[in-house]
Chain A
Amino acid sequence: MAIDETIPRLGCGRSIDEVWATIKQPPTAHENGCVQCRTARASLAKLAEATRTLRDNDAVDPSLQPRHAVKDAIMNLARAEVRRGSLLPVYRAEQGGITISEQAITSVIWFGADALPGVRARRCRVHPGPDTADAPRSAGTSDIAVNLRIAVASGTDIPGTAELLRQRITSMITAHVGLNAGAINITVEDFYDV
C-alpha cells in the first residue's frame, strides 16, 4: 500500500488525522499499548477541549449573533417555502427541467373556483398524474390530478355546480399553467348561508 509522505505520521505508522478522528471515542487496544498514540491522544485531547470551549463561547458571543434583519429574512423565506409546498416536475430534459410549485397551481385553481357563484374553495392538493409521474415529459403533455374541497351556498345544485367547476379548473390550468388536468376530484364538505 502506498503511503502519502505529505501526511504527518506517528512512529507506529498511524496518521495524526486517524488519531484525531477518534479523539471523542475511548482509546482502542492499539492506542492503549502504543506510546506514540497515547502521547498524541493526550495532546489532541487538549486541542479538542480548547476547540469545544471556543465553539461554546462563539455560540453565546453577542457580537457573533445574526442581526434581527437577517433572522427575519431567513424566517420570511422559510415560511414562504413551506407555503409553496412541493415542486412538481413538469418538464425533464438533459439540459434541465421545469418545476412548478404546488402553491402556484392551487392559487390558479382557487382563483377559478372562487369566481364561480355559490362556491368557496377550501383545501386543495395537486399531484402529478399517476401515469406520467416517473416518465419523462415534454412540454404541454403533463397531467396533474387535483383534489379540491369546497363549501357551497345552501340550495346550490351540487352536481351541476361541480361539473361547471371541473370544466373551469381544466380550462384555467391549461390557460394559466400550461398543463393538462387529469382527474379533478371535488369534495363538498360544507354549506354556507347566502
Chain B
Amino acid sequence: MSEHPLEARLISSHLIADLAARTALDTPGVLRLEPTLKNLFTRLGKGTIQNLRRTDTRTTPARHDGVFVTVHNGIADVQLDIATDIAFAALNVAQVVREQIARTISHTGLIPGRIDISVLAIEHPPTATAARPPRPL
C-alpha cells in the first residue's frame, strides 16, 4: 500500500466543503452555518462561468453555505462562518471546529492549510418543537 493512498487531485474542493460543513454541524455548540455574500457571489459567479465554458473544479473555490474552500498544491484552506449556541463559549466551540476540520482534511490525504472560523451569531437554539432542517450531505 502506498504511503499516499489518495492523490490530492482526486479530492475536490467540493468534497472538502461538504466534509467541513458536516464536521462543523456535528460539533456541539454549532447551531448552523451562516451564508454570506461571499458564498452567494461565488455560487452565482461559478454558475455563470460554468455556463460559458467548462472549468476545472479542482482549482476553483467550492461554495457551500457558510463554507469557502480552496485547494491548491494538495493544501486545503477553509473559511467557515457559523452561528453558535449561547449555552457554549463561542471561542471554545470555534477552536474545536478548527481542530476537527483539520483532522477531517488530514484523513482525505490533503494537508490542512489555513482554517479561519468566523462566529457571526451567538443565539439560543431553536425550540424543541421546531424541527431542525436536514443536514446537507
On whether the two chains bind one another, the answer is: yes
Which residues of A pack against B, CB within 8 Å?
70, 73-74, 77-78, 81, 84, 87, 90-91, 94-101, 103-105, 107-108, 111, 139-140, 142, 174-179
Contact of B102 among A95, A140, A177 (CB under 8 A): A95
- Considering only CB atoms and an 8 Å cut-off, how many residues of chain B contact the other chain? 31
The distance in angstroms between the C-alpha atoms of A186 and B122, with both chains bound, is 22
Pairwise interchain contact B37-A96, C-beta atoms closer than 8 A = no
Can you list 10 A-B pairs with a CB-CB distance of less than 8 A?
Answer: A77-B40, A84-B120, A96-B114, A98-B116, A99-B117, A104-B121, A104-B122, A142-B91, A176-B122, A177-B90
Q: Is the interface of B mostly helix, strand, loop or mixed?
A: mixed
Contact of A81 among B36, B112, B114, B123 (CB under 8 A): B36
Pairwise interchain contact A87-B118, C-beta atoms closer than 8 A = yes
Chain B residues with CB under 8 A of A105: 122
Which residues of B pack against A, CB within 8 Å?
35-37, 40, 44, 78, 84, 86-95, 98, 102, 112-123
Pairwise interchain contact A176-B86, C-beta atoms closer than 8 A = yes
Q: Taking A104-B90, A107-B123, A139-B91 as contacts, is the C-beta distance between A78 and B37 under 8 angstroms?
A: yes
Least CB separation from B84: chain A residue = A104
Least CB separation from B79: chain A residue = A96
Q: Taking A91-B95, A139-B92 as contacts, is the C-beta distance between A74 and B40 under 8 angstroms?
A: yes
Pairwise interchain contact A108-B122, C-beta atoms closer than 8 A = yes
